[in-house]
């Protein structure tokens, strides 16, 4: 043993020596690990949002008093004629100024054709029969009824041909009408529609064919009677379409048509004078 005193104890000496021999990966081994949500402190560029398509526009709602076009399928809205029939009212709609003008022009064409001769009258007559056959189905909300329109129009052409062949005999109209009623019945019996729809189709087809066939009576009538009648209809229908109350419009239109008839049938000249003097 030596009598030399021990050196002073340095508390920091051992750690300094241990630090010199520390392992190179010691910091990584005992690195503090965070448990929880972390976030990036670096500034990131803002991300552009994807464009969102605008919501579709709502379908336009039909007005309370509006009705869809007359059709057999594809549109569930009722036509004016169908709604009137469902409510127990008449499906006949009062004409406007445009249909009235068309009817007046057609009447004047018939009057001019009757004044020129039978074959000149045939041209506007065929046009009238086609409009009659198609218009009846349109009026009843059964548009487009191609078979019914074609059947009625063919019946009208057959009646015209029968009138011309038989020297304008009225019996030709009755015979054609009977045949076309049977054809309409056979056509509806072959249909696979519901019984109610089949009945409506039969009624509309028979009436359209009857009206178109009976229009051929212009060929059997006297030319002067056709001229006076069609001119009176042209005058009355235009007055009827004026925006007047219904009772007043009916009275004024009837007066206009009657005045036109009386003006066309009053004889002039010496014949009228002789008739007046010979009267008791």
pLDDT in tens, 156-212: 999 999 988 888 888 888 888 889 888 888 887 877 777 777 788 788 888 888 999
In a domain, 45, yes or no: no
Number of domains present in the structure of the chain:
1
Per-residue pLDDT, 157: 92
Per-residue pLDDT, 268: 43
Question: Confidence class of residue 39 from pLDDT cuts 50, 70 and 90?
Answer: low
Q: What is the 3-state secondary structure (H, E, C) of the chain?
A: CCCCCCCCCCCCHHHHHHHHCCCCCHHHHCCCCCCCCCCCCCCCCCCCCCCCCCCCCCCCCCCCCCCCCCCCCCCCCCCHHHHHHHCCCCCCCCCCHHHHHHHHHHHHHHHHHHHHCHHHHHHHHHHHHHHHHHHHHHHCCCCCCHHHHHHHHHHHHHHHHHHHHCCCCCHHHHHHHHHHHHHHHHHHHCCCCCHHHHHHHHHHHHHHHHHHHHCCHHHHCCHHHHHHHHHHHHHHHHHHCCCCCHHHHHHHHHHHHHHHHHHHHCCCCHHHHHHHHHCC
Question: Confidence class of residue 247 from pLDDT cuts 50, 70 and 90?
Answer: confident
- pLDDT over 60 at 33, yes or no: no
Residues 4-22 have pLDDT tens digits of: 555 555 555 555 444 455 5
Per-residue pLDDT, 147: 80
In a domain, 91, yes or no: no
In a domain, 209, yes or no: yes
pTM over 0.85: no
- pLDDT over 70 at 272, yes or no: no
In a domain, 86, yes or no: no
Per-residue pLDDT, 69: 46
In a domain, 60, yes or no: no
Least confidently predicted of 49-63, 145-159, 173-187, 235-249: 49-63
Residues 68-124 have pLDDT tens digits of: 444 444 444 666 667 777 888 776 666 678 888 888 999 999 999 988 888 899 999
In whole numbers, what is the pLDDT of the chain averaged over residues?
73
In a domain, 4, yes or no: no
What residues make up the domain containing 228?
Answer: 97-277
Q: What is the mean pLDDT of residues 213-234?
A: 88
In a domain, 15, yes or no: no
In a domain, 8, yes or no: no
Higher per-residue confidence, 26 vs 164: 164
């Amino acid at each position: 043993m030596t009598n030399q005193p021990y050196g002073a104890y340095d508390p920091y000496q051992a750690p300094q020596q241990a630090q010199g021999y520390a392992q190179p990966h010691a910091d990584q081994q005992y690195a503090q690990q965070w448990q929880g949500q972390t976030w990036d402190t670096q500034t990131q560029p803002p991300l552009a949002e994807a464009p969102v398509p605008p919501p579709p526009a709502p379908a336009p709602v039909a007005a309370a008093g509006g009705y869809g076009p007359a059709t057999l399928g594809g549109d569930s809205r009722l036509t004016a004629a169908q709604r009137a029939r469902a409510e127990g009212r008449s499906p006949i709609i009062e004409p406007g100024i445009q249909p009235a003008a068309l009817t007046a022009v057609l009447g004047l064409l018939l009057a001019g054709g009757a004044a020129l001769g039978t074959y000149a009258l045939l041209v506007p007559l065929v046009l009238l029969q086609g409009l009659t056959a198609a218009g009846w189905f349109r009026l009843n909300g059964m548009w487009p009824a191609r078979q019914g329109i074609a059947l009625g129009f063919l019946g009208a052409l057959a009646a015209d041909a029968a009138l011309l062949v038989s020297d304008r005999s009225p019996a030709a109209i009755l015979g054609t009408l009977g045949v076309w009623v049977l054809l309409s019945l056979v056509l509806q019996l072959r249909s696979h529609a519901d019984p109610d729809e089949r009945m409506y189709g039969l009624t509309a087809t028979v009436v359209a064919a009857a009206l178109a066939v009976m229009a051929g009576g212009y060929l059997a009538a006297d030319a002067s009677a056709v001229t006076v009648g069609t001119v009176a209809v042209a005058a009355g229908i235009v007055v009827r379409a004026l925006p007047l109350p219904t009772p007043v419009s009916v009275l004024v239109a009837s007066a206009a048509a009657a005045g036109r008839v009386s003006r066309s049938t009053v004889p002039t000249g010496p014949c009228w004078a002789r008739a007046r003097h010979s009267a008791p």
